[in-house]
Amino acid sequence: MKHIRSIITLGCLAAIAATAGAQGYRSGTGITDIMRAGPRLGPPAARPSTAPSAAPVQRSAEFIVALVNSEPITNTDVQTRVSRLIKENPDAERVPRGELTRLVLERLITERAQLQLAKENGIKVDEVAIDQAEQTVARQNEISLVELRRRVAAEGIAQQDFRNDLRDQLLLTRLRDREVESKVKISDAEADEYLRDQRNTSVKNAALENLNLAQVLVAVPENATDAQVAAAQKKAQDLAQRARSGEDFAKLVRENSDSPDRANGGAIGMRSADRYPPLFVEATQSTAVNGIAGPVRSSAGFHVLKVLAKAQIGSGDATVTQTQVRHILLLNDPKRTTAQAVAQLAEFKRRVQAGTADFAGLARDNSQDGSAKDGGDLGWSRPGQFVPEFEEAMDRLSPGQISDPVVSRFGVHLIQVVGRRDSKLSQSEQREAARAALREQRVDEAFTTWVQEVRARAYVEYRDPPQS
């Protein structure tokens, strides 16, 4: 069976950390940073416990191992996290168990201190946002919500515990945005210097490389037998060979792919490399334009990839897939619950689809965003311009289609895609791409420092060490 790692590591944390953004619903950094730029797990920096030392005694498995500002962390908390870590990353077993347990305890202490800070700052995540996060996890793993819940249960994780994990990650990401991301600014001069450095060096920054890939996905069912896996692999290998022999890739996609993007020939769109799965980037790193890579294996199955285009930001031929989009935004309001906003926007969608209302007119009359006067029009956007939950919904739409209501930390959006095009990046757009890449570096650095400061301010009392 595929471990829950395929859900949490590859889909869940990426999807649920989808509330980053410097301002408005725009985003300046990737959605997995909250985990990638986690705290340094070093020696404890807390005040020593005042409890007298004593020889260890035999006791039950459940006991308090540490207090964080008077909030307990139990032995079960630690051992559950250790077990999940080992399932998600078998290499963790190479670390001595005592050292691994200590590192996990320190991570839990750091997270607990941040969650307490989020609560003190009045940051909240409602059930509707968690519902949406759960649906996004399932969608990104190309499984149904029912199947997601079945896999979670099969890993021994209670449904409510899984939803609590989603809530905590959303809280941590919103706290990071408030305390760190919104305070990191990159000037035009810094962005221009960054672009010049990229032009003048032979070592290019992957964050500034744009890729357009297309894929054929041969899905592997959950609990597949060895024979089913072998059959799927052989089918993918045959498709890769046919593609390399010159068969029309888009036709192969339409006739064989199990991916939702098969309708447009499997093309994912021109976007920066860091917005693709690392597996895809690694597989196509040395593949020329129009070349075929794979098949490569993921939790979803076997992927055959075609490189449609490559371009380095800062070069004259840098292009990107742009989307013209408009939306209606209902802000978070004490007088209107998120569920009520979702219901109102769902009614707007029904009216537009029935032909009894116009999207732009509804936006002008109801949207609580500056774009309302323009009928909700946000213009032509490049990948990475919006916060991930907005962009994830937008990317699934064809021109003319309208999303279901999308919850973000700013409120609830109804999104309509007007058009798409591949366009060369202007100098100002290349500057914005450079600004985003440089800003991401700075945010990582600032986040690490901030996490250490939050940890140092917390009062931590260590009790008896964890026991497996």
Q: Phi, psi at residue 273, to the nearest 5°?
A: -60, -35
Q: What single letter denotes the amino acid at residue 67?
A: L
Q: What is the pLDDT along the chain (468 residues), one digit of tens a residue?
A: 333 333 333 333 333 333 223 223 333 322 222 222 332 222 222 333 333 334 444 445 688 989 999 899 998 888 888 888 887 777 777 888 888 888 999 999 999 999 999 999 888 888 888 988 888 888 766 677 888 888 888 878 888 989 999 999 889 888 888 888 878 888 888 888 877 776 665 445 555 567 778 888 888 877 788 888 899 999 999 999 998 888 888 888 888 888 766 656 777 776 767 677 888 888 888 887 778 988 988 877 899 998 877 766 555 556 677 889 999 999 877 788 888 999 999 999 999 999 999 999 999 999 999 999 999 999 988 777 788 788 888 887 888 999 999 988 788 999 999 988 877 777 777 777 777 777 777 888 888 889 889 999 999 999 888 887
Residues 19 and 170: beta-carbon distance below 8 Å: yes
Fold equal for 5-183+455-462 and 319-424: no
Statement: 202-312 belongs to CATH 1.10.357.10: no
**Residue 324 half-sphere exposure, CB side, CA atoms within 13 Å?**
11
What's the whole-model pTM score? 0.62
Tokens 């395929």 locate to 6
Radius of gyration of the chain (CA): 24
Domains of the chain by residue range: 5-183+455-462, 202-312, 319-424
Of the CATH numbers 2.60.40.290, 3.40.50.1100, 3.10.50.40, 3.10.105.10, which one belongs to the domain with range 319-424? Answer: 3.10.50.40
Residues 64 and 109: beta-carbon distance below 8 Å: no
Residues 165 and 81: beta-carbon distance below 8 Å: no
Residues 384 and 25: beta-carbon distance below 8 Å: no
pLDDT of amino acid 414: 95
Overall fold of domain 5-183+455-462: Triger factor/SurA peptide-binding fold (1.10.4030)
